[in-house]
Amino acid sequence: MGQIEEKRGADTVMRIGMGYDVHKLTEDRKLILGGVEIPHTLGLLGHSDADVLLHAVMDALLGAAALGDIGKHFPDTDEKYRGISSLKLLEHVGNLLEQEHYIIENIDATVIAQKPKLRPYIEEMEQNIADTLHLAKNQVNVKATTEEHLGFTGREEGISANAVCMLSTIYENSVAVGDSEGGCPGCAGCH
């Protein structure tokens, strides 16, 4: 019978990240959330496309990996990011995580906006995030809520979003098999 030795990180098996972002609503801008252009009289002000949802997701992912934040990676003083799609920025973050051997386990995010109603667009937002990060759709959850006309989101001055994620690493989940002439019990694998 083979021996199985688990190789896990000394202190943790998972890493959790949290992200938060806010953008002001203004005229003459498109409203883009989760990579979806949403019909509305106002859009979000920002250096990029100001996709507050994706910005919160990226900050959660970068935070969980201890890789800083989106301001560090995509400064608003750099003209190459002016008007850029946040889906492209999210793809870059996904590549950074892959280079560091992180696996995204799941993402859960909430958009806080009084208007417009976002329910019709949620599934497309989830699919955009999943596709960009090469995840299964059931690893991404997006919710929307209002603040019942309270605060800056309730007064329709801006939209905010928060996100949490869980990462693991290839190393934290790896299993080394020792003395495995017959393979692991019940495994039809490597023999």
Residues flagged as binding site for a divalent metal cation: 21, 23, 55
Q: CA nearest 119: which of 111, 128, 107?
A: 111
Contact 24, 159 (CB under 8 A): no
Q: Is 118 exposed, middle or buried (0-12, 13-18, 19+ CB in 10 A)?
A: buried
| Token pair listed for 50 | 């100001």
R_g of the chain, CA atoms, integer Å: 20
Binding-site residues sit at: 21-23, 47-48, 55, 69-71, 74-78, 145-148, 152, 155
Instruction: Give 147-152 contacts, CB < 8 A, sequence gap 24+.
Output: 147/112, 147/114, 149/114, 152/22
Q: How is residue 167 annotated by DSSP?
A: E
Q: Left if phi > 0, otherwise alpha if psi is -120 to 50, otherwise beta: which for 150? A: beta
